[in-house]
Every structure is written in C-alpha cells, then in structure tokens.
Amino acid sequence: MGPSDLRTARMGDASGGRGTDRSPRTSRRAVLKAGVGALLAGALPGLPRAARADERAVSPLRGPFSLVSGLGGNVLVRATPEGQVIVDSGSPGQAGALLDALESLPGAGRVDALLNTHWHLDQVGGNETFGARGTTIVAHEKTRLRLAHGYYLRDEDRYREAMPAAALPTETLRDRRDLELGGERIEVGYLLEAHTDGDVYVHFTGAGIVAVGDAVSPLRDPELDWFGGGWLGGRVDALARLLEVGDDTTLYVPSYGPAVRRADVAAEHDMMLALFERTTELLRRGYSADEMLAAGVMDDLPRSLAEPAKFLHDVHQSLWAHHNTISHDIV
C-alpha cells in the first residue's frame, strides 16, 4: 500500500467507521492542531521543568499541592488542615522514600486519604503501608477487584498474587463519586478503558487540578494495557471527558512527566483520534500491526513515539478485542 492508499484510508467513507457514531465531539474530520509540539515536556512556561521519570523530586505545584516524582508514578500531594491527601502511592519498595518525601511537605504526619488512579504497581505499591496506618483508600471497583484477587500477566504467563488486605481500596466507585476532603470537593470519575479497566481521574475542584494517571502521557509513549482492559477507542473517549472536566486554568497531572495544560490534553486527544481513525480503517482491511506501521499510520503526526511498533501492537490487539464495536460489517 502506498501513501495515496493511506490517504484514501484516512479520508475514506465514514459509514463503516465508528467515528461518526462515537460522539458529536469526535468528528472524522478532526484536524491535528498546531501547537501539539507543546506536548514535549518542558515546553510549558510557568510549569515545573520536566523531571526525568526516574529522577526523585519533590516540587511545589499550586497552592497546597505538591508533586513527588521518581518513586514509580507521580504522587500528587494536597496538604489539608488535618494532614495530607495523596493520589497514588508509588512503586513497591518505595514506600519508605515516599513517607520521607511526605514528611518534608506541609500537613506532614497523617495521610487521611489515598486515591488510586488505577491498579498498576507503579500506582499502588505503597498502598499497604498507608492502609495499615488507617488511611482511607479510594479507587474504582475494578481496581479493588484486581488487587483483591490477583490477575493474569499474559506476557509472563503467570498470575500476580492478591495484595494484603491493608492494601485494598476501602471505598470504591463505578462511575463517579464526590468526596469532601480538606474543605474541598473532590470528584472521582471513571475513564472507561482508557489504559486499563480501572482508570479514574481525581479532580480537585477548588484548585483546578486533575490527576489523570496514565490516561494522559506527555512524557512516555501512550500505553494501552489491552489485556488489562485498555483500548484506543476508550482512550479517545477518556481524553474527551478530561477536556470537559477542566478549563484553560486547569493543571492535569499525569503519572509520568510534568503537569500539563488543557491544550496539551486536546493535542493528545486529537492525535489519538487520528490514530483511531487510521488504524480502524486498516484493521478492517486486514492489516497487521507491522503492516500498519509500514503503511505509514504514524507518519505526519505532531509527535513521534519512542517505540511505535510496540504501541501499534497494543493498539492492534486492543482493536481486535473490540472488533464487535468498531464496525458494523466485521462479524
């Protein structure tokens, strides 16, 4: 297939694609906007410089908020009059370092609540430490189920064992839940199949800060844990939902990399939507992931990925897992 074929694929009749009936927001004619290059970490004036993902750092964010990075996924910290509220708990084995970091921040001494953006180990590694100290742990019900029962690791052909009772979420949600913590309303909402099957955003409504876990990836390649329930269509929808949650003053805090602005989330949404349209079209024609790459689906995008072949492999697997929903004529 040559470039002109790909162009045809991109601009092809929408009647067979999912794009037209996904939602009014996701027009097939969505055009990649200029300025997506701002996705590049560090390009945002007024925001903390991008730390390397493995660089331990504690940085102030806005008002009573701080960011602890380099202990797994980012840990967002909000100081309250009673103590601290945190989003995610870092990797296993890093709880001591995380406690040290929290000790250096306002509100030190007690963590009232821990909210998990999803069930990957980089986000729940410190859960047991906090749960054992009486911290309330909030997460999606699917996250609780994963942690309570263990789950199959397809690439390693083994099961990950259940976590101890102290590590498990004590309060869960299925679609949305509002909490009142430290005098601020915190909205927790499901991001259906954005990255896993248990992703949520955590919106601190007073401060205009949204923790988004791995549903937004300004630094690392976007990751679809397709076997864990993530897929490209879910990611597009999740990014659209996140655009509705915030405004131009909102800070979005991903698991890796610096906080980003709504325009950056919009750029990632547009790029994922373009990839959804390109890859679903080629999937319907029977292309493998490697053939999609060779056909140029990653060309002419505002951002290049470090491992496009891996990303497309996961996209491909995730699309097949949803083949019954992406087109009416695949049976």
Q: Which residues make up the interface to Zn ion (CB under 5 A)?
A: 120, 214
Nearer to Zn ion, 120 or 278 (CB): 120
Nearer to Zn ion, 120 or 284 (CB): 120
Contacts from 146-153 at CB under 8 Å and sequence distance 24+? 146/119, 146/198, 147/119, 151/228, 152/227
Residue closest to Zn ion when measured from CB atoms: 120
Nearer to Zn ion, 193 or 214 (CB): 214
Beta strands in 236-295 (DSSP E): 251-254
Q: Which of 109, 122, 104, 127 shows the shortest CA–CA distance to 57?
A: 104
Beta strands in the chain (DSSP E): 57-62, 65-69, 75-79, 84-87, 111-115, 136-140, 151-153, 158-160, 171-173, 176-181, 184-190, 200-204, 209-213, 251-254
Nearer to Zn ion, 214 or 268 (CB): 214
Q: How far is the CB of 314 from Zn ion (least distance, A)?
A: 12
Residue 14 to residues 29, 58, 279, Cα–Cα distance (Å) = 10, 47, 13
Nearer to Zn ion, 123 or 280 (CB): 123
Nearer to Zn ion, 120 or 261 (CB): 120
Q: How far is the CB of 83 from Zn ion (least distance, A)?
A: 27
Q: How far is the CB of 214 from Zn ion (least distance, A)?
A: 4
Edge-first strand order for the sheet with 57-62 is: 57-62, 65-69, 75-79, 84-87, 111-115, 136-140, 171-173
Q: How far is the CB of 223 from Zn ion (least distance, A)?
A: 6
Q: How far is the CB of 118 from Zn ion (least distance, A)?
A: 6
Q: How far is the CB of 224 from Zn ion (least distance, A)?
A: 10
